[in-house]
Chain A
Amino acid sequence: GQQLNQSPQSMFIQEGEDVSMNCTSSSIFNTWLWYKQDPGEGPVLLIALYKAGELTSNGRLTAQFGITRKDSFLNISASIPSDVGIYFCAGFNSGGSNYKLTFGKGTLLTVNP
């Protein structure tokens, strides 16, 4: 099946620093998504990307859908303590037996105040 490679696995940064994480796939996706999971909670959608090359921002977050449709990155600028959590990339395809989200293995972000 499709697999997503997400890196880095974890990051320890100081408050105010910028963060970048990315995801690559062995096959193409029609949609790329970035989720955040806080401790003890379910994932929450941060950004959805629907077109190859698309660059989308949501506050301090910026994400891009790679031209090849096999990768995506997420940047967080000027990190704050509440950015702590696990960030997941996910790819979505539709048609045939698809219609499912495939998740990356997550990036654990720790922000030191």
Chain B
Amino acid sequence: DTAVSQTPKYLVTQMGNDKSIKCEQNLGHDTMYWYKQDSKKFLKIMFSYNNKELIINETVPNRFSPKSPDKAHLNLHINSLELGDSAVYFCASSQELLLSYNEQFFGPGTRLTVL
């Protein structure tokens, strides 16, 4: 039933480690996104993929590498984790990016804590 799912829900790890967060959507959407929500609840887009092609990269450090094996999945891999990477990461999906807005459906989030 779940439209946009993310795993894991919680991730606690040490500085310097490499970790991945997985996202899957069963809505048949063409576009997927990753957002970061900081401790002050500010939401900011990181990446957007349309049919497995990178559309938006909001000057995110290259330690963050999104990977889209197919249009239903957009995983986020983070290398050499830093304290400042601690945040809640949201995956979202929508119909194909067009001239008008298509509703984005958000996953439940992954709370990443870097110690």
Chain A residues in contact with chain B, CB under 8 A?
Answer: 30-31, 33, 37, 40-45, 48, 50, 86, 88, 92, 94-95, 97, 99-101, 103, 105-106, 108
| 7 shortest interchain CB distances as A-B pairs | A42-B106, A103-B43, A31-B101, A92-B101, A99-B97, A94-B99, A106-B41
Contact A45 to B103, CB < 8 A, known contacts A40-B109, A101-B45: yes
Q: Which residues of chain A have C-beta atoms less than 8 A from B55's C-beta? A: 99
* B109/A94 in contact, CB under 8 A: no
A4 to chain B, nearest CB (A): 10
Chain A residue with the shortest CB-CB distance to B31: A99
* B98/A94 in contact, CB under 8 A: yes
Q: Which residues of chain A have C-beta atoms less than 8 A from B101's C-beta? A: 30-31, 33, 48, 50, 92, 94
* B43/A88 in contact, CB under 8 A: yes
| CA distance in complex: A99, B42 (Å) | 19
Q: Which residues of chain B have C-beta atoms less than 8 A from A94's C-beta? A: 97-101
Q: Which residues of chain B have C-beta atoms less than 8 A from A40's C-beta? A: 108-109
Chain B residue with the shortest CB-CB distance to A32: B101
* B106/A44 in contact, CB under 8 A: yes
* A100/B45 in contact, CB under 8 A: yes
Chain B residues in contact with chain A, CB under 8 A?
Answer: 4, 40-45, 48, 55-56, 58, 90, 92, 97-101, 103-104, 106-109
| CA distance in complex: A39, B40 (Å) | 14
Contact A42 to B42, CB < 8 A, known contacts A48-B101, A100-B48: no
| CA distance in complex: A43, B42 (Å) | 12
Q: Which residues of chain A have C-beta atoms less than 8 A from B109's C-beta? A: 40-42
Contact A31 to B41, CB < 8 A, known contacts A40-B108, A43-B106: no
Contact A86 to B41, CB < 8 A, known contacts A94-B98, A101-B104: yes
Chain B residue with the shortest CB-CB distance to A43: B106
